[in-house]
Amino acid sequence: AQTVTQSQPEMSVQEAETVTLSCTYDTSESDYYLFWYKQPPSRQMILVIRQEAYKQQNATENRFSVNFQKAAKSFSLKISDSQLGDAAMYFCAYRTPIQGAQKLVFGQGTRLTINP
């Protein structure tokens, strides 16, 4: 079974600074999807960024980028130029590429605080 671990329960960063959230995972599959989801106080889960394991290039979405290290099974999220609206719980998640499988395996989450 796949597992996802987020070792940082809480992180804080000054507004406009850069912060990196860590995530490691365990799987025996060679191909899979990895995600970072954001859950603000409203509780609505929002997809921040995704990475397909077969792609060597790290995904980037505006101020959000990942550092995907497949051999190390590491998938960290970097948020540049942090904004107050980035404050939320961030979840790292894994999904198998098996056709039809929509099950997400989540890490325990990291609560990110942005200090003005």
Partner 1 sequence: KAGVTQTPRYLIKTRGQQVTLSCSPISGHRSVSWYQQTPGQGLQFLFEYFSETQRNKGNFPGRFSGRQFSNSRSEMNVSTLELGDSALYLCASSLNAQGEAVLGFNEQFFGPGTRLTVL
At 80, give phi and psi (nearest 5°).
-95, 155
The binder of partner 1 chosen from 28, 30, 44, 56 (CB under 8 A): 44
Contact window for partner 1 (CB under 8 A) among 14-22, 43-51, 65-73, 76-84: 43-51
Are β-strands 10-14 and 110-115 bridged in parallel, bridged antiparallel, or unpaired?
parallel
Residues 56-95: x/- map of binding to partner 1 (CB under 8 A)? Answer: -----------------------------------x----
The binder of partner 1 chosen from 53, 75, 82, 109 (CB under 8 A): 109
* CA 72/CA 40 separation, integer angstroms: 29
Spatial CA neighbour of 6 closest among 49, 47, 37: 37
Interacting residues toward partner 1 by CB under 8 A? 33, 42-47, 50, 52, 91, 97, 99-109
